Amino acid sequence: MHPKSFYFCLLVLCIGSTELSAQLGFCGGNSGDPIFTEDFGSGTIDGPALPAGTTTYNFTTGTPNDGSYTISSTTNYFDWLSIQDHTPGDTNGKSFIVNASFTAGEFYQREVTSLCENTSYEFSSWLINLQAAGGCEGNSIPVNVRFQIWDETNTTLLAQGDTGSIVANSSTEWQQYALVFKTEPGQTSVILKMRNNSNGGCGNDLAIDDIVFKSCGDNVTVSTNTNEQRLVVCEDQGGVSRTIIATPDFSIFNTHAYQWQQSTNQQIWTDITGENNNTLSTPAVTATTYFRVKTAEDPINVNNDLCNVVSDVFDIIVLPIPAAPTSSGDVTVCEGEIGILSVSTQNTYTVNWYDADTGGNLILANNQNLETTSAGMYYAETNSTEIECASTTRTPVTLTVNPLPEVPDDTFAFLCEDSFITLDAEVENVTYLWNTGETTRLIDVSAPGEYSVVVTNINGCSDSQSFIVEQIDLPRIESITSDGPSIIVSTSNEGNFQYSLDGNMYQNSPVFEAVEGGFYTIYVQDNANCGVVTQDFFHLVIPKFFTPNGDRVNDLFTPDGLEVFSTISFSIFDRYGKLLKFGNSNSSSWDGFFQGNQMPSDDYWFVIEADTTQFKGHFSLKR
């Protein structure tokens, strides 16, 4: 196990056990490659049975009862947890499944050979309690296993440790346990034993997997005298080298022998001839190379992979000069649009944008896409995300910005009622699309509203123009009245109207003053020349008052305009309805007398019958 994993695994061990022997523990330094591994194979058929002498338990290919075991890819027995084996990547992987005997005692023993004498090793194994929480009506016997390492004579106990009670908790997580031991001088094998500390019965059911033996030595770090633990350089820096130092922590070994190695893939390692000290001046490196050192307590063991440990790895990573990025193509946009220039490169690289093919100014860093509205040529350069290691060339990408068609400003137009107007886009050599669906430069419209046209030039660039069309309604004469000598025209709608009595001379006021009585045609038009409306009107001038005082000024009440009628009757009444005067065409005035008497100042009423038309009103007599 890697030394940095020690504290994590120790924490896991403590969680999984309520009682931990002081001798259980992992290698506190560097480990070698696995020397012995038992993962119990894979497949859907139970077995094979362990070699003779490995266990006193009975082998079964079915459900293991107390004092029995099986080698199987399933744990789906009784009410046990159903779990997979521990071995990573296994398909139908098997584990050693044990139903403890009623009597505590040893259930597994095997010899591990080909070790080195007087050398420290780490034994480890993964274990799990198969009983679910609540099993055995809450009285499940906990798992408690003792691991032992004996010398090859089976007389000297080198190390042992107990898992402590592992209670049923329905966890499907395997737990790892380990022992560190040292072989005896002159001995190259040990005996591994496992013992149940608890009696069997309801509970004490377990599975074991991935038994591993590794050499165990000091934690050996490798770094430069400036504490660099790796080096990343660019290919264009040429051959680089470093003096690296191996530093053991003396946690296991008292003395140290070294053999430096190098590799290009961390799979195949080659000894560097003559490099047997704790320092190494690396050769000039032009391609990625890894360095480590094998360490043993005795020089005779340093090249025996069963006895040595390997240090941390010192990397000299040589980054190849990246190729220039690949352009996604030049981009053309219309004025006002954002152009997105894009290039692609490997995921391990980044892209920087410049305004020149060499040197120049950095425009945007760490992005494969550049967004801009400014036309021109831009240059993309590939670079490493770790250090400055750029492509030797830059990829040009051009942004072309085409102008929009020049359209007039938005236009206000006026439409005469019951008419039409022609709207003109006023742009040549373009295509047109009106919001009415029409596609010509000119369109006729006969309804007020907002009209718009999109014009598109030969570059595919478009702009739009709006037309606000307002309708001018014809005047609608509501009434024409006489007010003394004045004619007053009223319309039912509003507008910039003009008024005329002859159709030639127009005035802005709807009141014609000092008009003689008679028949008239009234003309009303809007000043936008949208048309004229007319209405005939008889203007009868009724004086509002008269003053019969003999000064020959306004002495008579005489309506003006009656002469155009053939027959006339003329009646004057006081406020009580008394007839004071009756006349005809020859006598259509009143002097203010009744039966020779002057009538007093007061309001009086008239009724005039002119042909088929009747006029009524009142006036004042003032003295």
| Same domain (yes/no): 128, 189 | yes
Instruction: Give yes or no for a contact between 584 and 570, defined as CB atoms under 8 angstroms apart.
Output: yes
Distance CA 82, CA 41 (A): 18
Gap between the Cα atoms of 50 and 73, Å rounded:
15
Q: Which of 4-8, 49-53, 115-119, 442-446 has the lowest mean pLDDT?
A: 4-8
What confidence category does residue 410 fall into, taking pLDDT thresholds of 50, 70 and 90? very high
The per-residue pLDDT for 528 is 85
What is the C-alpha separation between 98 and 203, in angstroms, rounded?
A: 11
The residues near 125 (Cβ < 8 Å, ≥ 6 apart) are 147, 176, 177, 178, 208, 209, 210, 211, 212
Query: Binning pLDDT at 50, 70 and 90, where does residue 400 land?
Result: very high
Concatenating the DSSP letter of every residue in 349-395 gives EEEEEESSSSS--EEE-S-SEEEESS-EEEEEEEEESSS--B-SS-E
Do 77 and 125 lie in one domain? The reply is yes
Residues in the chain: 623
Assess whether 107 and 159 both reside in one domain.
yes
pLDDT in tens, 461-486: 999 999 999 999 999 999 999 999 99
Both tokens of 349, joined, read 């690289």
Same domain, yes or no: 165 and 141: yes
Cα 512–515–519 angle (5° rounding)? Answer: 100
Least Cα distance to 194 among 126, 146, 129, 125 occurs for 146
Average pLDDT estimate for 576-580: 94
Res. 9 pLDDT band, cuts 50 70 90: very low
Q: Are residues 101 and 207 in the same domain?
A: yes
- Say what the alpha-carbon torsion angle 363, 367, 369, 374 is, to the nearest 10 degrees: -10
User: Which one of 167, 192, 216 terminates a domain?
Assistant: 216
Rg over alpha carbons for the chain, rounded to the nearest Å, is 58
Same domain, 70 and 182: yes
- Over range 417-442, report the average pLDDT: 95
Judged against a pLDDT cut of 50, whether residue 233 lies above it is answered with yes
What average pLDDT does the structure give for the chain?
91
DSSP state of 267: S
Q: What are the distances in angstroms from CA 313 to CA 33, 223, 229, 269, 583?
A: 14, 9, 8, 11, 138
Closest CA to 123 of 189, 71, 76: 189
Work out how many domains the chain is built from and give that number: 6
Query: What local confidence, expressed as pLDDT, does residue 19 receive?
Result: 37
- Supply the pLDDT for residue 304: 87
| pLDDT for res 33 | 79
- Which residues, 6 or more positions from 559, have their beta carbon under 8 angstroms from its beta carbon? 517, 540, 541, 542, 543, 570, 588, 589, 606, 608, 615
**E strand spans, 457-510:** 462-472, 477-483, 486-491, 497-500
Q: What is the pLDDT at residue 550?
A: 86
> What does each C-alpha distance from 336 to 272, 331, 372, 403 come to in angstroms?
65, 14, 10, 9
What is residue 557's predicted lDDT score, i.e. its pLDDT?
Answer: 93
Q: In CATH, what number is assigned to the domain containing residue 454?
A: 2.60.40.10
Same domain, 139 and 230: no
516-555 residue pLDDT tens: 999 999 999 998 889 999 999 999 999 999 999 988 899 9
Are residues 531 and 552 both part of a single domain? no
Predicted local confidence at residue 361, as pLDDT? 96
Q: Does pLDDT of 16 surpass 50?
A: no
Domain that holds residue 398: 326-402
Tens-digit pLDDT profile for residues 158-168: 999 999 999 99
Nearest-angstrom CA–CA distance, 287 and 186? 44
Does residue 543 have a cis bond before it (omega within 30 degrees)? no
Phi and psi torsions of 470, nearest 5°: -110, 140
For residue 22, name the pLDDT band (cuts at 50, 70, 90).
very low
Count of helix runs (H) and strand runs (E) in the chain: 1, 47
Taken in order 438, 444, 447, 449, the sign of the CA dihedral is: positive
Q: Which residues contact 243 (CB under 8 A, 6 or more apart)?
A: 224, 225, 279, 280, 281, 282
Q: Residue 566 belongs to a domain with what CATH number?
A: 2.60.40
Q: pLDDT, tens digit, for every residue of 50-74?
A: 999 999 999 999 999 999 999 999 9
pLDDT digits (tens, 9 = 90+) for 311-357: 999 999 999 999 999 999 999 999 999 999 999 998 889 999 999 99
Same domain (yes/no): 55, 203: yes
Taking the C-alpha atoms of residue 598 and residue 591, their distance in angstroms, rounded to an integer, is: 9
Provide mean pLDDT across the span 91-109: 95
**What CATH number does residue 12 fall under?**
2.60.120.260
Question: 515 and 449 in one domain?
Answer: no
Q: Is 184 strand, coil or helix? A: coil
Whether the pLDDT of residue 186 is over 80: the answer is yes
Lowest-confidence segment of 173-182, 297-306, 525-534, 573-582 by average pLDDT: 297-306
Tell which phi-psi region holds residue 383, choosing left (phi > 0), alpha (psi between -120 and 50) or beta.
Answer: beta
For residues 177 and 123, what is the distance between their CA atoms, to the nearest angstrom?
8
Residue that finishes a domain, picked among 293, 319, 345? 319
Q: Are residues 558 and 518 in the same domain?
A: no
DSSP state of 574: -
User: What is the per-residue pLDDT for 163?
Assistant: 95
Taking phi over 0 as left and psi of -120 to 50 as alpha, with beta for the rest, 575 belongs to alpha
Q: What is the mean pLDDT of residues 210-223?
A: 93
Per-residue pLDDT reduced to its tens digit, 253-306: 889 999 999 999 999 999 999 999 999 999 999 999 999 999 998 888 898 888
Q: What pTM value is reported for the model? A: 0.55
The answer to whether 152 touches 188, Cβ cutoff 8 Å, is yes
Helix (H, G, I), strand (E, B) or coil at 603: strand
SS3 of 9, please?
A: helix
Are 264 and 289 within 8 A, CB to CB?
Answer: yes
Answer yes or no: are the C-beta atoms of 347 and 375 closer than 8 Å.
Answer: no
Quick one: residue 511, left, alpha or beta (phi over 0 = left, psi -120 to 50 = alpha)?
beta
Token pair listed for 593: 């007398």
Taking the C-alpha atoms of residue 304 and residue 1, their distance in angstroms, rounded to an integer, is: 18
Q: Which of 524, 539, 554 is the last residue of a domain?
A: 539
Do 511 and 584 reside in the same domain of the chain?
no
Residue with more model confidence, 586 or 491:
491
Q: What is the pLDDT of residue 13?
A: 36
pLDDT in tens, 362-374: 999 999 999 999 9
Q: How far apart are CA 415 and CA 121, in angstroms?
A: 103
- 131: which DSSP letter? B
Closest listed residue to residue 115, CA positions, set 311, 310, 308: 308
Contact 36, 112 (CB under 8 A): yes
What token pair was written down for 267?
Answer: 């799979």
- The pLDDT, as a whole number, for residue 587 is 74
